[in-house]
C-alpha cells in the first residue's frame, strides 16, 4: 500500500513539482503513524489494519 502511494506520488510530482514540500510532509506523517501503530499493535496487525481500512474505503457506497 505504501509502495503504491509512493509510486503515485512520484508520478504526480513529475507533473506538478511545486507539490514537493506537501508530498514530503505527507510521507513523514504516514511514516510516523505507521511506526506508532507498529509499536503499539505489531507489524502484522498494522498491515491488516491498513488493508482493512483500504477495503472499507473502497467498498463504501456514496450517494
Give pLDDT tens digits for 17-31: 888 888 889 889 988
> What whole-number distance in Å separates Cα of residue 34 and Cα of residue 40?
10
**pLDDT of res. 6:** 74
Provide the grid cell at 33: 503513524
- Report yes or no on whether pTM surpasses 0.85: no
**pLDDT of res. 2:** 66
Query: 509502495: which residue's cell?
Result: 3
1 touches 51 (CB < 8 A)? yes
Question: Where do the structural domains in the chain lie, given as residue ranges?
Answer: 1-8+42-63
User: In the chain, what are the helix, strand and coil shares in percent, each to the nearest 5?
Assistant: 90, 0, 10
Length of the chain: 63
The sign one gets for the Cα dihedral 61, 25, 20, 52 is negative
- Which pLDDT tens digit goes with each residue over 28-46? 998 898 899 989 999 899 8
Amino acid at each position: 500500500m505504501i509502495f503504491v502511494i509512493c509510486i503515485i506520488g512520484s508520478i504526480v510530482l513529475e507533473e506538478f513539482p511545486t507539490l514537493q514540500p506537501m508530498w514530503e510532509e505527507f510521507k513523514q506523517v504516514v511514516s510516523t503513524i505507521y511506526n506508532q501503530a507498529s509499536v503499539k499493535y505489531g507489524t502484522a496487525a498494522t498491515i491488516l489494519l491498513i488493508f482493512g481500512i483500504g477495503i472499507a474505503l473502497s467498498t463504501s457506497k456514496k450517494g
